[in-house]
Amino acid sequence: QGQTNSLPQVSLVTGDVNNDNRINILDYAIILDCYSDLAPARNCQDQPKKASADLTDDGSVNQFDYNLFLRELTNIQGE
């Protein structure tokens, strides 16, 4: 209490669906497997898989998650 903790600046980017610290085609494939708007998801019976693909945390993997993933691709910086 009464102390200040200094933390380094970090940049948080969403979209790493498979938790490998990269945003790539593997994450995209998981989102597509779980994507559902009018038709049921293609291959998403696993609840943890669906939860990881739900980038907006609204209980559905839909156009909002897909658009967020595409937008986050622009945050990738080269080496």
SS3 call for 17:
coil
Neighbours of 66 (CB within 10 A): 17
Written as one letter, the residue type at 51 is: A
The 10s digit of each residue's pLDDT in 42-79 is 999 999 999 999 999 999 999 999 999 999 988 777 65
pTM of the model: 0.80
| Mean pLDDT value across residues 25-45 | 93
pLDDT number for residue 21: 84
Contact 49, 26 (CB under 8 A): no
pLDDT number for residue 79: 59
